[in-house]
Each structure stands twice: as structure tokens, then as C-alpha cells.
Amino acid sequence: MWQIALYGAIFFVVTSFTIFWTRFAGGLALVWPGTAIAAALFLSLPRSRHLMAAAVLVVLSTLATSLFGFGHEWAFPLGLINIFEAWFIARLLLHFRPQRDYLDRESGIVWLGFLAGLVGPLPSSVAGGIVVTQIVGGEWHDHAFSWAVAHGLGTLLVMPLVLLLGSARRSGPQALLKRRERVASFAGMVVLTIVISLVAFLQSTLPLLFLPIVPLVLASFRFGRFGASIAVLTISIAAAGSLGMDAGILAELAIPLWQKALFLQFYLAGLLLISFPLAVALNQRERVMQELVDREAMLRLIADHSDDALLHLDRHGTIRFASPSSQRLSGIEEVMNLQLAVFFSDTDKAIVSTALAAAVQHPGRTEIFERSVVRGGQTIWLEAKLRAVESSKQHPSAFVVTIRDVTERKLEELQATLEARTDALTGLPNRRAFLDVLEGHLAGAHDHPFALALIDLDHFKRVNDTYGHTVGDMALKQVAEIMREAATEDCFFARVGGEEFGMVAVGPALETVSKVCERLRLAIQRHVMTDSDGGAFSITASVGVARIAERCSSTMALQAADGPLYSAKASGRNCLRHAQDIDRFGPREGPVRKLPLTVVS
């Protein structure tokens, strides 16, 4: 309610003054700022309160017209038309520019001038022209034209200042009161504008109407939109005084007074259209610069306290900015003016170059790579993320890079991978790991033959049935321990399922695979197991071995070793058998000596 009261009071004073001082020859006022005040009120209120505001404004407009204008007979219809015009302009602005950036963007200023200064007054000018014709006579279209010009230019001149003063989101004059020197500077600008305006309008020797542009531009630069509005208003007051006294440059114009007033309004509107886009552009530039300063301060704070190394590289990959963490992660005192590869090993230079080249090819994509490095005698993992920054010419002009110590995460990943490839019971590699190793050797079997063995514990079901699964699990663990003791760089053991184990022998172990398997079989046979009651028992194992010298599938390779294993089982178990058709896997590079088989009943 206070808004309606405040705007209403201002509207009544301004409207009364306008009618009293600018109704030349008893006709319409030659300038009408009241529409700007009323439209600003409608813009500031919710739609539910528009009717109340309109009623108050109609009463005030009727009163002003009755006291200082055409009298009470036609005051009410003119008041209705005036307030409808203001409401219509407000609705147009809200419909076509709901973001309310009338004073924030160049496009917003254009829409404000078009809707408030041109389109908005047209409907009311027709109605107003007809009503005024009934009062003073004449042609309705002449009065409609005068209405449209007076209301359009008046709204265009005053509305920016009203919007600035009435908007709580704008700094408006409050910003001028923050510092004394700024207040003094603003006051000096106003005085300068007054002096130059008086000189331009009150003298008639030289055409100096261009002079007020100087303080107007200065006010726009120094105080933005608010300064531009105040400067235009100051020039308007000086010009109106010159016109009212019929002195100065305007008195020399050989045209009627109403035409001088229209000329003056167009002149002032031109000044506003010069200064306001400039002020808006400067305001946007200042806002962007402030955002850049704030963002830089924030990035500096993040960089100074981040555990990651934050880097900025030029287009050649040379480091131009490095956060404090760069020293720790690079192990170098100063990385400025060095290449990104300084963070990694010499063998990783090609990887770094490839990542930079990929970032250039795809500026919108983040390239990521991880490498291990040695820092302080310890191996750590570094993760680098880099992206190319495009210049205005759509060419990468720089790179932004973050480097992070991901050792903890990498160890967790390696541990997870290890667990995924490790048999939970025995601690040996599981079937998945065994097949990966097997397939890796199968890919080069033609050039590097290897031996594949399958070891199966005999009658292991009896152990579980007799002693229980807990004892059976303990027996599997002890067998696995025997295999770990027999494992070398050339002999790889794994648990492939249940009581079955596998072995891959390469290199020198290929020639002694029979001895290795026989020693393993005997070690299992001789190992004494104990049950939960302290009783002793032993288990035996059957072994099947195949030599692989050609590339084939893992299934075929397992079948090659499964055949002799089945033969060992059929021969009474606890023995070693070689594949009988081993030659179909390729020529042997050396003899595989078959040891005498020991059959245990």
C-alpha cells in the first residue's frame, strides 16, 4: 500500500505541475511524464493489486485535471485514458520483455523505447484526441498526434529514471552515498551539466546544443545509467527554463512555441538514446570485469589451498601458471616455463604429447591419463586432466590442466583387481586369472611353446564327507601353500575350480615340467594333514600335462591337458600322464622326458 501512496503522491505533483506549466494555448500539455510514473507503479506491483492502483491514480489524475486543466467536466474520462495508457504500457513490457531487463541490455532499451515511447501511447492518443476535440474543437487527429508525441517522449525521458529509483534491485542513488568523494564527484557532475546546459541554451550567438553531450557522456561513464538519467533530467530542466523565458537559442527559432517544445523533446530523447546504451554497455562491461576479478580471486584461493596442481599452459604446452601443489607433485622447485611432461617420467613424454594433441583436436573434451612416477623413493600415481581453451578465432590458444595424486585410489583399484583375480579360500590366482595368463601365452605359442598342467586331488569328496568341509578347506589351503613354494617366475599356479588346480610352465621350466609336476605330486602325497580331533591323513593328486606349440583356443588347450589327466585317473590316480597326441600342437623344441609313473592303489 505504501508503494501506491508514494507513487500516487509523486504522480499527482508531477502531473499537476505539467498541466499548469506546459498547456500552451489551452490545449494538451506538451510533455507528459505522468505515464512513466504510473507505468512504473504497475510494473512494481503484483497483478492482483493493479485495480486498486488504477483506481487511486484515476482519482488523482481527475483531481489534477480539474484543478489545473480542462475542468471537472472532462477530467474523469481524461483520467481514465491516461491511466489506461500507463497500464497498457506496463502490460506490453511484461508480455514482450518478462525478464525486465529494460535498463540492463541494449535490446531491453530498444524494447522500452519501442513499447513505451511509440506503441503504448497509440490507443490512448486516439481516445484522447477525440475527447480533446469535444473540449477545444479542432481536428481529432491533430490532437491525437500531439497526445502521442507528448506522452511518448515524456515517458521515454522520465521512465528510465523512475525505474532506476523505484527498483530495489538496482543500486540507484544509494551507491552514491557510500563514499563522500563519490558524492562530491556526483555533485560536481550535476553542477557541470547545469553550467554547460545554461551556456548552450541561454546564449543565442552560436549553435552550441551539442555541448551538453559532453557532461552527459561523462556522467554515463562515471555513474552509469543513473548518471545518464540525472544528466538528461538536468539538461531538460535547463532547456525548459530557456523555453519558458523565451530566451536563448530556442528564442531564435522562427517557429511556434508548441513546435519549439516538440523540437526540444526530440532533442532530449536523442540525448537519452545516445547516453543510455552507452551507460548500459559500460555497466555490462563493469559487471563482467567484476565477475572476472571475483572469479580470479576464487580460483587463486582454490589454487593456493588445493592438493591438486592447477596449471595454465600456453598453446605450445609451456607452463605459464602453476599452483603451490605443483612443487610437491612434480618434485621440482620451480615448474614455470617448463613443459607439462616435467611432472612425469621421461618414458611418458609421448603420452603427454598425444594427450595435448587430442585436446587440440577436441577443444570441448577433457583428456585424462594416469601414470606412475617415483617421488622421494616411493612410487605414486598421478592423474592428469587437460582441456584446450578456445580463443575468439576458434583456435586453441591455451590449456588448463589439473594433476592429482591418485595413489590411494589406484592402490584400491589394484587391490580390487587382485581380489577379483584371487581365490578367496587358497589365496592362489583364480580361474579368471588363470585363463588370462593362458590366453596370453596362447597368442604367442607358435614362437614360444609352453606346457599346461591340470592337477586334481584324488577322492577329495571323501575328505569332505569324512572329516567335514572345514577340514577339507584346510587341506586345500595346505595344497595351495605347497604350490606357492613350487612356483617360480616360469611356473604359474592357480585354483581353477573345486579341488582342481592348473599350472603354466614357460621358458626353462618347459624342459623340466615333468620333474616339477612329479615333485609337486610327491609333496602333496607326503604332506600329513590333520583333522579337528588330531587324527592324521593324507591325500594324493593326479596330473595331466600337455605341451602347447601352436595358437589355439583356451578350451582346446584345456582339453589337451584334460585328456592325460583323465588317463591318470583311469590308471589308478596319484600319477602323472602326458598328452599322447602332443605332436598335433606343433613340433617339440626339446624332448619332454617321461618319468616312471607311480601308481598308488
Spell out the SS3 assignment of 242-260. Answer: HHHHCCCHHHHCCCCHHHH
Kindly report the average pLDDT of the chain as a whole number. 84
- pLDDT tens column, 298-314: 777 777 777 888 998 98
- List, by residue range, all CATH 3.30.450.20 domains of the chain: 306-413
- pLDDT tens column, 532-569: 777 889 999 999 999 999 999 999 999 999 999 999 99
Could you say which DSSP state residue 534 is in?
Answer: S
pLDDT band with cut points at 50, 70 and 90 for residue 598:
very low
pLDDT of residue 288: 80
Using CA atoms, how far apart are residues 368 and 442, in angstroms rounded to an integer? 33
- For residue 544 the three cell numbers come to 595331466
pLDDT of residue 589: 35
- pLDDT tens column, 320-350: 888 888 888 898 888 999 999 999 998 899 9
pLDDT of residue 363: 82
| pLDDT above 70 coverage of the chain, percent | 90
Among all chains, which residue has been given the C-alpha cell 555513474? 223
pLDDT of residue 337: 92
Dihedrals φ, ψ of 540, to 5°? -125, 170
**Helix, strand, coil percentages, rounded to 5, for the chain:** 60, 15, 25
Residue with the larger pLDDT of the pair 355 and 152: 355
In this predicted structure, the answer to whether residue 269 has a pLDDT above a threshold of 70 is yes
Tell me which architecture the domain covering 1-169 has in CATH.
Orthogonal Bundle (1.10)
- pLDDT tens column, 216-233: 888 888 887 788 888 888
pLDDT band with cut points at 50, 70 and 90 for residue 104:
confident
- For residue 455 the three cell numbers come to 592337477
Within 439-551, strands assigned E span 450-457, 491-497, 500-505, 529-530, 536-537, 541-548
196: left (phi over 0), alpha (psi -120 to 50) or beta: alpha
Dihedrals φ, ψ of 580, to 5°? -75, -30
Using CA atoms, how far apart are residues 517 and 498, in angstroms rounded to an integer? 19
3-state SS of 205-256? CCCCCCCCHHHHHHHHHHHHHHHHHHHHHHHHHHHHHHHHHCCCHHHHCCCC
- For residue 539 the three cell numbers come to 591325500
Residue 229 burial (C-beta neighbours within 10 Å; 0-12, 13-18, 19+): buried
pLDDT of residue 477: 94
pLDDT of residue 452: 95
In this predicted structure, the answer to whether residue 25 has a pLDDT above a threshold of 60 is no
- pLDDT tens column, 349-362: 999 999 999 998 88
294: left (phi over 0), alpha (psi -120 to 50) or beta: alpha
3-state SS of 149-172? HHHHHHHHHHHHHHHHHHCCCCCH
Q: Which residues are CB-neighbours of 315 under 8 A, at least 6 positions away? A: 396, 397, 398, 399
Dihedrals φ, ψ of 560, to 5°? -65, -35
| pLDDT above 90 coverage of the chain, percent | 37
Q: Is 589 helix (H, G, I), strand (E, B) or coil?
A: coil
Using CA atoms, how far apart are residues 199 and 533, in angstroms rounded to an integer? 120
Q: Mean per-residue pLDDT for 507-526? A: 92
pLDDT of residue 393: 55
Q: Mean per-residue pLDDT for 372-401? A: 82
Dihedrals φ, ψ of 337, to 5°? 70, 10
pLDDT band with cut points at 50, 70 and 90 for residue 588:
very low
pLDDT band with cut points at 50, 70 and 90 for residue 208:
confident
Cα end-to-end distance, the chain, whole Å: 109
Using CA atoms, how far apart are residues 465 and 535, in angstroms rounded to an integer? 15
pLDDT of residue 30: 65
Using CA atoms, how far apart are residues 586 and 344, in angstroms rounded to an integer? 45
pLDDT of residue 591: 37
Using CA atoms, how far apart are residues 75 and 591, in angstroms rounded to an integer? 124
pLDDT of residue 106: 74
Using CA atoms, how far apart are residues 129 and 221, in angstroms rounded to an integer? 41
Q: 306-413 maps to which CATH number?
A: 3.30.450.20
pLDDT of residue 307: 83
CATH homologous superfamily of 422-585 equals Reverse transcriptase/Diguanylate cyclase domain (3.30.70.270)
- List, by residue range, all CATH 3.30.70.270 domains of the chain: 422-585
Q: Mean per-residue pLDDT for 394-411? A: 83
pLDDT of residue 582: 38
pLDDT band with cut points at 50, 70 and 90 for residue 87:
very high
pLDDT band with cut points at 50, 70 and 90 for residue 168:
very low
